[in-house]
Amino acid sequence: MIFTLRQEAILREVRRNGSVKVTEIAAELAVSRMTVRRDVAALADQGAVTRVYGGAILPRSEPSPRTEAPVAYDRGRAFSIGMAVPSRSAYYRDVIEGAQAAAQAVGARLTLGVSAYGDDLPQVERMLASGVDGLLLTPLPQTLQSAAGAAWIRELSVPVVIVERRPEPAAGLDHLDCVASDHVRGTMQALRHLVDLGHGRIGLLACPTPTAPWIVRGFDIAAEILPIASGAPRITEHAFGDVEAVDDFLDAMAATGTKTSSM
């Protein structure tokens, strides 16, 4: 096999760390991401690496430095992806359907695990035992916030993409790709739509969920740039199932003449 100097640099990085990210190697080599993607494609065509979203990993026939033994990969079977989420409901339904559609489009098999906001570990361990080749992982906030939880994610033996979470830099998960809904922008678009319909007094009722801070931020930004009246009721930390808090919120809506709310 004949490689260019760039391709040799990419290959060294993959062999050293088990994977390489297009964005990082492009910055290191001072070339465009498109150039790196072409080099990765050429290396993949020669069997030197396996392309994955955002970069490349070792071919499945070679041992990864993150594992004690080679990862057996039968090229006659579908690439298998494990997806661990806390729920099937709310917007996670759309997230799951999107992942299923994307997997189907490339001929991959998606295995779903739902933790019901419980411990992530058993779900992930079962999927790893079944032989998944990669993970889409939505960890609980407390998992990301603890040193042990972050270490557990770093030590997973397959490539991982964090879904619907934005790990803090201190977690030491910068090497992982992450993808999340833009709740700030979505909230702003929802409020703009309400204002366009003629609603100028809009209340906010938010549960203490991992996405609530982004929703509150979007609401605050929209309130600064849109003609939204102040004084509407606003509750951002009521507990799930707290009927009394919801009743208080509705009473406040009536008392202030607020006819529209964002939840």
Q: Which residue type occupies 70?
A: P
Chain segment 146-174, per-residue pLDDT in tens:
888 888 888 888 889 999 888 877 778 87
**What pLDDT score was predicted for residue 254?**
85
Report the C-alpha gap between 141 and 28 in whole angstroms. Answer: 32
**What pLDDT score was predicted for residue 60?**
55
181: burial class by Cβ within 10 Å (0-12, 13-18, 19+)? middle
Q: Does the domain formed by 80-179 have CATH 3.90.180.10?
A: no
CB under 8 Å, gap of 24 or more: what pairs does 2-10 form? 3/43, 3/48, 4/39, 6/31, 6/35, 6/36, 6/39, 7/39, 7/42, 7/43, 7/48, 10/36, 10/39, 10/40, 10/43, 10/49, 10/56
In eight-state DSSP terms, residue 18 is: S
pLDDT band of 188, cuts 50, 70, 90: very high
Percent of the chain with pLDDT over 70: 89
Q: Tokens 């799951």 identify what position?
A: 96
Chain segment 192-208, per-residue pLDDT in tens:
999 999 988 898 888 77
Please provide residue 180's backbone torsions phi and psi, each rounded to the nearest 5 degrees: -150, 150
* Number of other residues whose CB lies within 10 A of the CB of residue 202: 24
Q: What's the fold here for domain 5-57?
A: Arc Repressor Mutant, subunit A (1.10.10)
Domains 5-57 and 80-179 share a fold: no
Report whether pLDDT(109) > 50. yes
What tokens were used for 156?
A: 């997973």
What pTM did the predictor assign? 0.59
What one-character-per-residue DSSP string does 122-146 give? HHHHHHHHTT-SEEEE---HHHHHS
Average pLDDT, the chain: 81
The residue extents of the domains of the chain are: 5-57, 80-179, 183-262
Report the C-alpha gap between 165 and 210 in whole angstroms. Answer: 8
**What pLDDT score was predicted for residue 64?**
42
